[in-house]
Amino acid sequence: QQQVKQSPQSLIVQKGGISIINCAYENTAFDYFPWYQQFPGKGPALLIAIRPDVSEKKEGRFTISFNKSAKQFSLHIMDSQPGDSATYFCAASKGGSRLTFGEGTQLTVNP
Amino acid sequence: GAVVSQHPSWVICKSGTSVKIECRSLDFQATTMFWYRQFPKQSLMLMATSNEGSKATYEQGVEKDKFLINHASLTLSTLTVTSAHPEDSSFYICSAKWPKGISYNEQFFGPGTRLTVL
């Protein structure tokens, strides 16, 4: 019930394309869903986050889509750039407690 | 945004020695900090939750006596790997949580510490 399933494991996109990463969860008590970006040898950086009372949140080229009934949420990266190449992690938590992370997606954006 | 630092960024030590890693929240007070471990190409694994002024809460399977955590102030938590062995070699990352009332549950991560045990 605490798991967060993330897919795909790896993703290759052409520059200018849309990158889409999906996550699914089981625990309906989760109430906070962040996405983190991690470059090799660095700590994760908070990219964007959403609460379940909204279905979509956009910040620049990054958008989270949230489907409460399906218990799924996704990250969309518009106009993907080579600098976006990194590992992306979705996560979830409830009541301000510990984060449960997905397995990660290694994104490669080709020039 | 909030800044979390870690020191050292990398450390090499001999088997059997102890290593201390510091995690500091530079521009906010964090009552709660977390320690994670990450193996290559894998996700973050929570090791323990550190609350200022109280004992850390360890995840199942994490040895309390091997991974000593001290959260002595609102801006500093330390992780000491005691009697380190090669299998302890990993990337250790801390995070600090915004205090209540500022933002909901946001955690900010440090840059990580690469530990190599020879």
The shortest C-alpha distance from A65 to chain B (Å) reads 19
Query: What does the pLDDT look like over B21-78, one tens digit per residue?
Result: 999 999 888 889 999 999 999 999 999 999 888 889 999 999 999 999 998 888 999 9
Query: What does the pLDDT look like over A11-50, one tens digit per residue?
Result: 999 999 999 999 999 999 999 999 999 999 999 999 999 9
For residue A49, give Cα distances in angstroms to A33, A52, B77, B82.
5, 10, 26, 36
Exposure on the CB side of residue A38, measured as CA atoms within 13 A: 29
* A96 confidence band (pLDDT: 50, 70, 90): confident
Chain A residue closest in CA terms to B37: A43
Q: Is B108 on the interface with A (CB under 8 A)?
A: yes
| Among the ranges given (A100-104, B95-99, B106-110), the one the predictor scored with the smallest mean pLDDT | B95-99
Which of B31, B44, B60 to mutate against chain A (most A CBs within 10 Å)? B44
CA B83, B87, B90 angle in degrees (round to 5)?
Answer: 100
Which of B23, B31, B43, B60 to mutate against chain A (most A CBs within 10 Å)? B43
Picking from A41, A96, A98, the nearest residue to B34 by CB comes out as A98
The whole-chain average pLDDT of chain A stands at 94
DSSP state of B42: S
* B5 confidence band (pLDDT: 50, 70, 90): very high
